[in-house]
Amino acid sequence: MRFILFIFCLIIAQRATGSTGYDITVTIKNAPSDTLYFGYYYADKQFLRDTAIKKDGVYRFNKDHELEPGIYLLVMPPKNDFIQVFINKNEQNLQISVDAKETVKSFKVKGSKDNELFYDYLNFLEEARPKAQGLSTQLKETKDSAIQKNLQLQLSGINESVKNKQNNIVAKFPQSISAMLIKSTFETDIPEFSGKKEDIELQRYMYYKAHYFDQLDLGDSRMLRSPLLNERINYYLDKLTLQDPDSINVAMDYLLKKMQPAEESFKYYLIQFLNKYAASKIVGQDGVYVHLVDEYYSKGFAPWIDQEQLEKLEKNAASLRPILIGKTAPEIKVLKYPDQSPLSLHSIKSPYTILFIWDPECSHCKASLPIIVKFYEKYKTKGVEILAVCSQFGDKVPSCWKYLEEQKINPGWINAADPFHTSRYKILYDVKSTPQIFVLDKNKKIISKGIGAEQLSEVMDEILLHQP
């Protein structure tokens, strides 16, 4: 195993009144270096916590504050091989001895029952594994049914002994990190369902998702400092959850509620979720960002954030809220080109309306226009209308029509502009750059947005395929 050294820019150290701190001494036979690092897991990364130089044959890590419970790492340069060490609240004075050439077999510890328990379990597995592998090899090689039956019985016996060892640790030491790690390997036991094949598959999926975290306590603060949590959470959100905003919001609320007893985990993942969905390029996931701001940040569940930052988040959410997928598109009134007659978005009678906001000085807009022209030629007979709003103001508006004339772009859609921005459409539609495309249904509800011109045909085909 290899450990990547990170510089941890924010070490969260809980200083307890009257705490004696931690004191860990390590003796390593065949140590590859006189330097030893002390690191730990933190979600999906590993961070460096302390460094010790060997003195009188011993490495020592000690500070006057306690370590946050979790799984830590003794990292041996130059290859950065590491040894896992469990730290619990009442086990922070440890004396460890180990041989770098066979870390599991040689590991000895005083001051930590949890580490004794775990390394005893690892040694048990080290003995069982080659026996099981040997039996499996023999099973593949023989064709004698009687021998196969005997080998299978022996193999089942080994598997059963491993299960018994695991269950014994979990039952006798339920609060240990050893039990936490072992339980994380337990598979979800899905019951038998009856009915049609597709119904059974759905029931199995729903049951599996509902029980996915049965063996992991998300409210256990030690989870954050372990390799167990992050991958599970990402899989639950990205693979087991439908990727629409409503489903993601329900899944996130479930996770965050489970995490609330572990304040640091709750804080870490609330920030992670906000950053993830703020940066998401997937259509509609800005709805997840708005949900997080509305339900957590604005309601005081993020006391660490200062007022200025909070106001920025709320302002951003407020600009996105009216144009989320499923919302009725904000009404805008523009002047239709070339006669400059007044026109409102909602007055356009069409099964589908594409709102296309562009600028003749924008290179992406220039590249998009020919694609939009071809799109319109294909879909105008399928109930699609386009309102192309040029985003120039004042005396620059004529440059819009000049550009179209020069490029011989006259597909017959509705060209318009708002010379004095009286409709405030750039604010209403959060137009920070161009081009911007919104796909609306007959009731002017937003079906899709934030897509490029090259994606428009694919999106429209999907919409038409699923229309009532």
Residues 81-113 pLDDT 10s: 999 999 999 999 999 999 999 999 999 999 999
Whole-model pTM: value is 0.87
Q: What is the pLDDT of residue 16?
A: 37
Write out the two tokens for 368: 């998009």
Q: Look at the block and give the residue holding tokens 């491993």.
A: 162
Q: What is the pLDDT of residue 410?
A: 87
Q: What is the pLDDT of residue 12?
A: 36
Alpha carbon separation from 18 to 15, 21, 64, 65, 147 (Å, rounded): 9, 9, 10, 9, 65
**Is the Cβ–Cβ distance between 390 and 409 less than 8 Å?**
no
Distance of CA 7 to the CA centre of its chain: 22
Q: Where are the alpha helices (DSSP H) in 107-176?
A: 113-141, 145-172
Q: Which residues of the chain have pLDDT under 50?
A: 1-18
Alpha carbon separation from 238 to 214, 235, 242, 251 (Å, rounded): 19, 5, 8, 10
Write out the two tokens for 299: 């309601």
Among 462, 377, 449, 460, smallest CA distance to 413 is for 377
Among 444, 451, 452, smallest CA distance to 327 is for 444
Q: What is the pLDDT of residue 466?
A: 83
Q: What is the pLDDT of residue 6?
A: 32
Average pLDDT over all residues of the chain: 93
Which H or E run includes 87?
strand 81-87
Cα–Cα dist 205/458, whole Å = 29
**Is the Cβ–Cβ distance between 94 and 24 less than 8 Å?**
yes
